[in-house]
A and B are shown apart, each in its own frame.
Chain A
């Protein structure tokens, strides 16, 4: 569970690293971000795609 408690944190660029099997090609990757407990329609800005393996 990640708690984002600070309002000012919303402008930060968040970077996540996923360690996935090499057989998953970029064409097959789908990033999903949801937040079901809060019905407010938050948005996110997707800034960058991929880094090399």
Chain B
């Protein structure tokens, strides 16, 4: 009987430890984690920050980005599996694109992209043809607007 009384707290402790470990293992990384398809209002995201790869910082360090006038959106992809995937861009109707920015009833495709390597912190600049060394080819029509540099 006494041994049973001792076992119970130990079992509870083990269960709690297991639950705590599981919770930590599943805790999302810093930032706003969303599933694809959940829109984000940029107005409510103004407090989000980027630490190591501060877009403003490396933006100023790369001439390609220095004079860009526009809206910047930064995010990380965390997809499952061992394969990549694709995003579709519809240049005729941006509302049909997989990545778009909506302003009221108007939808906009992105005009330029970059990728920052988390290991090196280096930005790889995208263009209308490629993503600057990243094997991330553009397919189909290049972005329509070329008036980014003003």
Contacts and interface: CB of A to CB of B under 8 A. Distances in A.
B87 to A, nearest CB: 5
Interface in A1-53: 1-7, 9-21, 24, 26-38, 40-51, 53
Contacts of B100: 31-32
Nearest to A29: B42
A12 B104 CA distance: 30
Interface residues on B, range: 35 or more
Contacts of B87: 1-2, 4, 33, 35
Given A19-B70, A28-B104, A32-B100, A9 B46 contact: no
A21 to B, nearest CB: 8
Interface string B49-91: 1100101100100000100111111111111111111111100
A28 B56 CA distance: 22
